[in-house]
Amino acid sequence: MGATESLRREHQILRANLRLLEVAMQMVPEAPFVLREMCGSLARMLEDHIWHEAEALRPYSGQIQGLMQARMARDHADQQIVLRDVNVILLGGIDAPVSRVVPPLAHLIEELREHMDEEERELFPVIDRYAEERTEKSNALEVHEPLHPSGR
């Protein structure tokens, strides 16, 4: 299993939820509560994914620090703020103005997709390579069966 395989699976799940969120955005005038629930669910999923990603990438932080680490943290924080703001608007209930919800959500969806694509294209191959090198070094250092006392 590659070092980033579980993160790639999470990205697939997040993308599927983003597609569902787009459908829900079209129903907003009739069903704002559905959108609110989906946004809340997405916020929790994103929070869990951010934590999992940080834990999965922690062993490689020295190698990726200059690559994307600061940008990832900033992007994740911005995305969470947008979701929080949309949820606050949606908590207003049936009177929540669609014009204040749909544009930021549409932008967030596009940002999340671009962010995941960028990670998969630029960051994950580097992490997988470092993980493979780490495994190879570990295998090379494994203790071998002791030789027969006679040296044979």
Mean pLDDT (the chain, rounded)? 80
Percent of the chain surpassing pLDDT 70: 76
Percent of the chain surpassing pLDDT 90: 21
pLDDT, greater one: 143 or 116: 116
Distance CA 35, CA 26 (A): 9
pLDDT, greater one: 144 or 102: 102
Residue the block writes with tokens 């799940």: 13
Query: Is the pLDDT confidence value at 113 over 90?
Result: yes
What's the average model confidence in pLDDT over 12-20?
Answer: 95
Asked whether 79 and 111 are in contact (CB, 8 A), the reply is yes
Q: Kindly report the backbone phi and psi dihedral angles of residue 21, in degrees, each rounded to the nearest multiple of 5, phi listed first.
A: -65, -40
Distance CA 3, CA 82 (A): 29
Model pTM score: 0.77
pLDDT score of 139 = 74
Asked whether 52 and 6 are in contact (CB, 8 A), the reply is yes
Residue type, 64: I
pLDDT, greater one: 42 or 98: 42
pLDDT in tens, 72-95: 666 666 777 777 777 777 766 656
